[in-house]
Amino acid sequence: MIESIKPTGILRKYIINYFIVETNNSVDYLPKERVYPCGYATMVFHYGSPSKFQKKNSSIYIEPNLVICGQQTSYYDLSLSGKTGMILIVFRPHGVKSFFNFPITELLNENLSLQDLAINETKELEDKLLNSPNNKQRVIHLENFLIKRLIQNNEFERVEHAIKIIENSKGQIKAQDIAQEVCLGIKQFERTFSKYVGVNPKKFASIIRLQNVIQMKSKHKKSMTQIAFDSGYYDQSHFIHDFKCLTGLTPNAFFNTQK
């Protein structure tokens, strides 16, 4: 079962939605699934059995009950428990910085327990979530936690505008051009963007471009060569190299797994 819930009004500026995922299978763990960069951070609460998580070139480990997952610049593999119950908070690309007062770049390619981040309210929140009678109440507890932590950031709107420029260009824009659009020097823009998003503008644009390639392939019967050209890659080898860095697979292998 997968359910999507929209956040309450004040949080919609920072959060895309909540996903509730539940499974009820006799096996301990379901087959692993490849998770590739999507351009946003998430916070996950496991009220069922936690998942198995494996980063590139790393050992498998069991996720904590309450974990925050930063921006990813490479793939990882996830095996859901056969008895999964979890709520994912999907932040907007620049949203997570508005709730956590530490350098968001520290979350890059990391899945960290909130307790490891020394957040005092973590144990109280975890107890409330584990003892909640249903997911509606769990979402209320999560939203109350986030609203209390909400931080007003001076550069939020500027970074939001930069993200929209990248998304509208489908990742086919240079950082220098975005910096001019948001009235910052290139170095200051890169620092500000990374501070809020967790990755630099160039890397974020490459993730958006990957997402666009995947959408194009699902909607149009185009060759991979044509998709690469339409997506702004200067040649086929550049396209394959970037795609494999982000997903661990060549484009043909990736789309064959999607059939």
CB neighbour burial string for 118-136, b if at least 16 within 10 angstroms, e if fewer = ebeebeebbebbeebeebe
Q: What is the pLDDT of residue 258?
A: 66
Q: What is the pLDDT of residue 93?
A: 95
Q: What is the pLDDT of residue 64?
A: 87
Average pLDDT over residues 40-53: 92
Q: Which domains does the chain have, with CATH numbers?
A: 2-149 (2.60.120.10), 156-257 (1.10.10.60)
Average pLDDT over residues 214-233: 82
Q: 259 pLDDT exceeds 70?
A: no
Per the model's pLDDT, the better-predicted residue between 56 and 203 turns out to be 203
Q: 69 pLDDT exceeds 80?
A: yes
pTM: 0.90
Highest mean pLDDT among 59-68, 117-126, 197-206, 223-232: 197-206
User: pLDDT above 70 covers what percent of the chain?
Assistant: 99
Average pLDDT over residues 72-90: 93
Average pLDDT over residues 124-152: 93
Q: 252 pLDDT exceeds 70?
A: yes
Lowest mean pLDDT among 54-58, 156-160, 163-167, 185-189: 54-58
Rounded-to-integer distance, Cα 126 and Cα 80, Å: 20
Q: SS3 letters for 167-224?
A: HHCCCCCCHHHHHHHCCCCHHHHHHHHHHHHCCCHHHHHHHHHHHHHHHHHHHCCCCH
Lowest mean pLDDT among 131-140, 156-165, 234-243: 234-243
